[in-house]
Amino acid sequence: MLKFMKISGSGNDFVLFNNLAGKIKNRKDLAITVCRYKYGIGADGAIFLEKSKKADYRMRIFNPDGSEAEMCGNGLRCLVRFIYEQKISRKKSFLIETRAGIYKTKLEYPDVSISMFLLKEPEFNVEIDINGEVVNTHLLNTGVPHAVILVEDIEKIDVKKYGTMIRYHKAFQPAGTNVDWLQVIDRHHGKVRTYERGVEDETLACGTGIVASVLCGAMLEKFLSPVEIIARSGEKLSVSFSSDLSEIFFKGRTKVIFEGNWINC
């Protein structure tokens, strides 16, 4: 029997486990099982809080298909809320290790903010062919890879259809990419929809995707800091940044959905 807590980061939901003792070994299989709707708990991912030799804690996150993600912005925010709710620490700020690097986090209950960074130099205007249609993408890695596409009306996008084709496009192999559609409303407001690899569908919010989209817009001179983004969930998340992008902060709401015991039978 394993204790768990389900927490949502602006509609991006996760099942979280305390694995500081290192007793959970089958993370991949457990993630596949618990993330499954109707037969499991149902979630966009499973997160394990673990010990770190480099930071206060380590986050390991597994997608519903069992693949391990390098990083997840909303997942990291939910993990900070989990630490607080489980009374693991009463500190308000932590350094958390991920496969993408170490992130500074801060609890501003019920909001959580993260200091973000770009892992690679962005690539702009990368044209790919999708069934004879040329799609102009901008590639940014905010912990995981994202292909950002600017559109006039985000509501007209068939995210599942085109997300699948772009995510698996030969230009992004072998790892594939997350796909984000960005609608710029004005210099400080926008909307984002995301197709997430590993989930293999649209999610209600994607932290790294929102940050990638905002930074893309900023570098294309369409955004000025701070920027408020409306996610598919309807919730608003904020991204602020310095002019040289040496400082990037991502902030949003977290909500505890429920907690319980996972009975393996």
Catalytic amino acids?
72, 206
Amino acid in position 30: L
Strands 227-230 and 93-98: what pairing? unpaired
Residue reference for tokens 């000025």? 224
Distance in angstroms (rounded) separating the CA atoms of residues 1 and 262: 5
State whether residue 245 is helix, strand or coil: coil
Residues 6+ apart with CB under 8 A from 229: 189, 190, 191, 192, 210, 213, 214, 236, 237, 238, 239
DSSP code for 10: T
Q: Which of 39, 47, 79, 40 lies closest to 198 in space, CA to CA?
A: 47
Q: Which residue has the tokens 């509501």?
A: 155
